Each structure stands twice: as structure tokens, then as C-alpha cells.
């Protein structure tokens, strides 16, 4: 195997209009794709009643509905690894476009599916199939997007590019939350159950297909084009090279993915429910505060990426992990006595979660270009499948014994993030 270039892109030139166009289209597509993936959870209760037998116990129906949601996560590693394999051999752009197509079409179909009352057992089976395809798509989209933008921009702007892309992905969660709020505000519960639940899926599918068209204007990355021209593509299965020669890069990437998944799942996705069940906030208050936190998270992702470019990822994780530990602990510890602090505390905590914007910077730097897509995709998707699946259960078990369980879990992961930062500083990264 021919050695890959050490740099990701020429470091000397400034960002051009073409670079900003690439970043904008990539971030927009990422936001819409993540919206398509996450919108299911906002309508899980309605979907469960429509796609499973009416006489099924409520707890079992909800468990099976969330099981279908979880199937998307379980499909991520396989889809990501396969798409990364071809991304390293055939080109980043082809897989980058394929991933959003694989997300948009199932989302559109989900908005058109007949219910259990209409086609019986085939309704949940088709829903599960669409969810699996979505999972495979998101498994290729996230790593592929990070690799794509990092190989387009100058080396000194890789952190900013990856942070901007991550901002787009987190904005997709905000879009889903705002859409769910709008649908439930405009329509009555009966109308939502009758037909309005389909609207977010149909809109997501249509905009996803529009993103497929927009990605036609993107070009193959200069790094891959150079490898192709020099006939320096992987001489064997890229993943085999990753597992044999880059185990250290895989380990640090998986640990940082644990930090990323904990920040998103606990602080962003689980906290609204925790605010309602443990602290007595109304759904409206918790969702409004959550939306504010996501806005600050998105800004924090861009900031962390830019800081990684300037000061190195190690320092960002050392100080960012400490900030996340302090703010998340204060959030969960103070709200019983000071419920009026909810919005500012949640906003600052969301900003601190933005440290995850520096995670892809480390990962794209950790692997050589010839196997970058495969290395990043394997590390990220396998770690997210493991930790993303275990985190809700671990936090729930901790909460049984102590209401501060979420804070304990986040604090423990912040220690891991801090140690990763120390390691990266020692390596001068």
C-alpha cells in the first residue's frame, strides 16, 4: 500500500467561496438527514398506536415502537462500514450522495405507509424495514460528511469545517423538535392521530430528495482525486488495514465517540423527559429550554472546531470536558431549589456539550487518507451503537438510586474526555 499524504489538504490557502459553498450544502444536507432520522422519536406514541394491535398493552406497544427506533441505531455500523468501504475505493462524493438518498426515500415512504388496521402485521414489518434502511444511511452520512468536508478545506481549517458540519447535524434535532411542537400546536390530538403525524415524514422526504439534487453540485474531494490519480488507493480491504495498523486511532476515536454520544443522548435527548418527571416542569417549558440548549450546542460545535484549529484538540477536550462536567452538574443539582434558572443553565450546558464539535477533527486526523473513511466510520458507528444503546439504560438505573444519576454519568464520561485531552496534548494534537 502506498503511503498516503500526511496532510489532509493544502494548509496555506485561505477558505474560498467554493469551500463555503461545500460547507453550506454539506451542513444543510446533514441537518435535513438528521431530521429525517430523529423525527420518528417525536411521534413514537402516535405511531405505536397506529402500527400495532389496538388490544396490545400500552407498555408493550411503546417498547416495540422504541425497539423499531433502536433498530435504526443497530443498523448503523453495518451500513456505515459498507458505505465507507466503497467510499475509500470508489469516491467520497458517491457515498455522500447515496446516504442522503437512502434516508429520504424511506422517510417519504413512512409518511405514506398503511396502518395496522389496513394491512395488519405487514404495517410494523414495513416500518421496521424503513427504519433499518434509515439506520444504514445515517451510518454512512455522518462519517462520510466529516471526511468529505475535511478533505475539501485547507488543513488549518479542518476543525472549523468539521465543527460546522456537526452544527448542521445537531440543527437537525432542533428542526425535529420544532416540527413536532408545530404539529401538536396546529392540530388536535385526533387530527394528529388521523393524518397530521404523516406531515413531518412527507416534508422530510421531499426536502431530503431536494438535498440529493443539491449534492450534485458538489465535487469529489481533492485528496481522494489525488489518491486515484496516483493509483494509491487501498490495495486490500480498507477495514483490514485499519484493524491491523491503526488500533490506537480506533481506540481514541471510540472513546471520544462515547463522549459525543453521552452529551447528545443524556443532555439533549433525555433531559426534557427528566425535567418533566423529576423536576416538575411542563412539557412546553422543557421543550422550549431544550430548543435553546440545541441552539447553543450548535454554536458550541463551531467554536470548538475553530479552537481545535488554533490551539489543538487536546486543550479543547481538557477545558471543554471540565466545563461540561461543571455546567451539567450545576444544572441537575440546582433546579429543585432554583427552577427559574432552567433556561440560562440549560443554555450554558448546551454550549458546553459543543465540545463534541472537536471530535471529528481528531478522527479525520487520526487515519491516513487511504483508509480514512473506513477507519472513522468503523470507530464512530461501532462505538455509537454500543454506548448509544447502553447510555439510556445506565442513566435510568442510576436514577433509580439517585436523582443525580444523569449528572454522575456525564461526569464520569467527562473524566474520560479530560484524559483523552491530556493524551492528545502529550501527542501535540
Q: What is the DSSP string of 95-129?
A: HHHHHHHHHHHHHHHHTT---HHHHTTHHHHHHHH
Asked whether residue 190 carries a pLDDT value surpassing 60, the answer given is: yes
Residue given cell 426536502 in the structure block: 207
How confident is the model over 10-33, as pLDDT tens digits?
555 777 777 788 788 788 878 887
Report d(CA 219, CA 217) in Å as an integer: 7
Give the torsion through C-alpha atoms of 200, 203, 209, 212, to 10 deg.
-70
Q: Cβ(265)–Cβ(319) under 8 Å?
A: no
Q: What is the mean pLDDT of residues 332-344?
A: 92
Report d(CA 111, CA 169) in Å as an integer: 22
Asked whether residue 66 carries a pLDDT value surpassing 70, the answer given is: no
Burial of 214 (0-12, 13-18, 19+ CB in 10 A): middle
Same domain, 54 and 195: yes
Same domain, 188 and 154: yes
DSSP annotation of 2: P
Same domain, 251 and 110: no
Report d(CA 129, CA 277) in Å as an integer: 33
DSSP annotation of 313: H
Domain assignment present for residue 5? The answer is no
Considering only residues 360 and 217, tell me which one the structure prediction assigns the higher pLDDT: 360
Considering only residues 316 and 221, tell me which one the structure prediction assigns the higher pLDDT: 316
Report d(CA 243, CA 232) in Å as an integer: 19
pLDDT at 223: 65
Asked whether residue 392 carries a pLDDT value surpassing 50, the answer given is: yes
Q: What is the mean pLDDT of residues 278-295?
A: 87
Same domain, 201 and 247: no
Same domain, 208 and 248: no
Residue given cell 422530510 in the structure block: 204
Domain assignment present for residue 8? The answer is no
Q: Cβ(318)–Cβ(425) under 8 Å?
A: yes
Q: What is the mean pLDDT of residues 359-363?
A: 95
pLDDT at 29: 79
Same domain, 273 and 201: no
pLDDT at 136: 85
Report d(CA 145, CA 407) in Å as an integer: 31
Domain assignment present for residue 247? The answer is yes
Domain assignment present for residue 227? The answer is no
Range of 139-143, 168-172, 419-423, 425-429 with top mean pLDDT: 419-423
Q: CA distances (Å), 38 to each of 131, 226, 347, 428, in order?
A: 11, 36, 21, 37
Domain assignment present for residue 309? The answer is yes
Same domain, 354 and 425: yes
The CATH number for 340's domain is 1.20.1250.20
Asked whether residue 303 carries a pLDDT value surpassing 70, the answer given is: yes
Task: Give the predicted TM-score (pTM) of the model.
Answer: 0.84
pLDDT at 9: 47
Last residue of some domain: 182, 217, 252? Answer: 217
Q: What is the mean pLDDT of residues 140-165?
A: 87
Confidence of residue 61 (pLDDT cuts 50, 70, 90): low
pLDDT at 235: 55
Backbone angles phi, psi at 20, to 5 degrees: -65, -35
Domain assignment present for residue 405? The answer is yes
Same domain, 34 and 156: yes
For the record, the C-alpha cell of 73 comes out as 441505531
For the record, the C-alpha cell of 154 comes out as 485547507
Residue given cell 451503537 in the structure block: 385
Same domain, 86 and 188: yes
DSSP annotation of 263: I
Confidence of residue 227 (pLDDT cuts 50, 70, 90): low
Q: Cβ(119)–Cβ(92) under 8 Å?
A: no
Burial of 229 (0-12, 13-18, 19+ CB in 10 A): exposed
Q: CA nearest 246: which of 57, 64, 372, 112?
A: 372
Q: What is the mean pLDDT of residues 53-82?
A: 73
Q: CA nearest 332: which of 318, 319, 349, 320?
A: 349
Range of the domain at 386: 241-429
Asked whether residue 5 carries a pLDDT value surpassing 50, the answer given is: no
Last residue of some domain: 165, 182, 217? Answer: 217
pLDDT at 22: 79
Q: What is the mean pLDDT of residues 42-66?
A: 74
Q: What is the mean pLDDT of residues 209-234?
A: 70
For the record, the C-alpha cell of 320 comes out as 471543554
Report d(CA 427, CA 429) in Å as an integer: 6
For the record, the C-alpha cell of 308 comes out as 481545535
pLDDT at 409: 95
Asked whether residue 230 carries a pLDDT value surpassing 70, the answer given is: no
Same domain, 355 and 299: yes
Confidence of residue 7 (pLDDT cuts 50, 70, 90): very low
Q: What is the mean pLDDT of the chain?
A: 85
Q: Note the Cα 378 to chain centre separation in Å.
A: 15
Backbone angles phi, psi at 188, to 5 degrees: -75, 160
pLDDT at 113: 93
Give the residue ranges of DSSP H helices in 155-282. Answer: 158-186, 189-191, 198-214, 222-229, 238-245, 247-262, 271-278
Determine if residue 120 is left, alpha or beta; phi over 0 gives left, psi from -120 to 50 gives alpha, anything else beta.
left
pLDDT at 274: 86
Domain assignment present for residue 341? The answer is yes
Asked whether residue 272 carries a pLDDT value surpassing 50, the answer given is: yes
Q: CA nearest 208: which of 133, 117, 318, 306?
A: 133
Domain assignment present for residue 2? The answer is no
Last residue of some domain: 217, 250, 275? Answer: 217
Same domain, 401 and 254: yes
Q: Cβ(147)–Cβ(370) under 8 Å?
A: no
Considering only residues 245 and 61, tell me which one the structure prediction assigns the higher pLDDT: 245
Confidence of residue 1 (pLDDT cuts 50, 70, 90): very low
Same domain, 198 and 306: no
* Number of domains into which the chain is organized: 2
Amino acid at each position: 500500500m502506498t503511503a498516503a499524504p500526511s496532510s489532509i489538504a493544502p494548509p496555506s490557502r485561505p477558505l474560498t467561496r467554493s469551500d463555503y459553498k461545500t460547507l453550506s450544502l454539506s451542513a444543510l444536507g446533514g441537518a435535513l438527514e438528521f431530521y429525517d432520522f430523529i423525527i420518528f422519536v417525536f411521534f413514537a406514541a402516535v405511531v405505536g398506536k397506529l402500527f400495532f394491535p389496538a388490544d396490545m398493552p400500552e407498555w408493550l406497544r411503546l417498547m416495540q415502537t422504541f425497539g423499531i427506533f433502536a433498530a435504526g441505531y443497530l443498523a448503523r455500523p453495518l451500513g456505515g462500514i459498507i458505505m465507507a468501504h466503497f467510499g475509500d475505493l470508489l469516491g467520497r462524493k458517491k457515498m455522500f450522495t447515496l446516504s442522503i438518498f437512502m434516508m429520504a426515500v424511506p422517510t417519504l415512504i413512512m409518511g405514506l405507509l398503511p396502518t395496522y388496521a389496513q394491512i395488519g402485521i405487514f404495517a410494523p414489518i414495513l416500518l421496521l424495514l424503513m427504519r433499518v434502511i434509515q439506520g444504514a444511511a445515517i451510518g454512512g452520512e455522518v462519517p462520510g460528511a466529516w471526511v468529505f468536508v475535511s478533505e475539501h478545506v485547507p488543513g488549518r481549517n479542518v476543525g472549523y469545517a468539521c465543527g460546522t458540519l456537526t452544527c448542521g447535524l445537531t440543527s437537525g434535532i432542533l428542526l425535529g423538535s420544532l416540527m413536532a411542537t408545530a404539529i401538536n400546536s396546529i392540530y388536535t390530538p385526533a387530527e394528529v392521530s388521523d393524518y397530521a403525524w404523516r406531515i413531518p415524514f412527507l416534508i422530510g422526504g421531499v426536502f431530503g430528495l431536494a438535498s440529493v439534487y443539491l449534492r450534485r453540485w458538489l465535487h469529489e474531494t481533492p485528496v481522494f482525486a489525488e489518491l486515484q490519480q496516483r493509483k494509491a488507493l487501498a490495495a486490500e480491504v480498507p477495514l483490514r488495514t485499519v484493524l491491523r495498523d491503526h488500533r490506537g486511532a480506533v481506540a481514541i476515536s471510540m472513546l471520544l465517540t462515547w463522549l459525543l454520544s453521552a452529551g447528545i443522548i443524556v443532555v439533549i435527548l433525555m433531559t426534557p423527559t427528566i425535567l418533566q418527571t423529576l423536576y416538575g416542569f411542563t412539557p412546553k417549558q422543557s421543550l422550549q429550554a431544550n430548543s435553546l440548549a440545541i441552539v447553543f450546542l450548535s454554536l458550541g460545535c463551531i467554536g470548538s472546531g475553530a479552537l481545535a484549529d488554533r490551539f489543538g484538540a487536546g486543550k479543547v477536550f481538557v477545558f471543554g470536558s471540565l466545563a461540561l462536567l461543571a455546567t451539567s452538574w450545576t444544572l441537575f443539582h440546582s433546579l429543585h431549589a432554583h427552577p427559574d434558572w432552567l433556561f440560562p443553565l440549560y443554555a450554558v450546558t448546551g454550549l458546553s456539550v459543543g465540545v463534541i464539535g472537536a471530535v471529528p477533527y481528531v478522527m479525520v486526523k487520526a487515519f491516513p487518507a487511504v483508509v480514512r473513511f473506513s477507519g472513522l466510520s468503523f470507530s464512530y458507528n461501532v462505538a455509537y451503537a454500543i454506548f448509544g444503546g447502553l447510555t439510556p439504560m445506565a442513566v435510568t438505573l442510576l436514577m433509580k438510586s439517585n436523582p443525580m444519576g444523569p449528572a454522575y454519568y456525564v461526569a464520569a464520561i467527562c473524566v474520560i474526555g479530560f484524559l483523552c485531552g491530556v493524551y492528545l496534548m502529550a501527542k501535540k494534537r
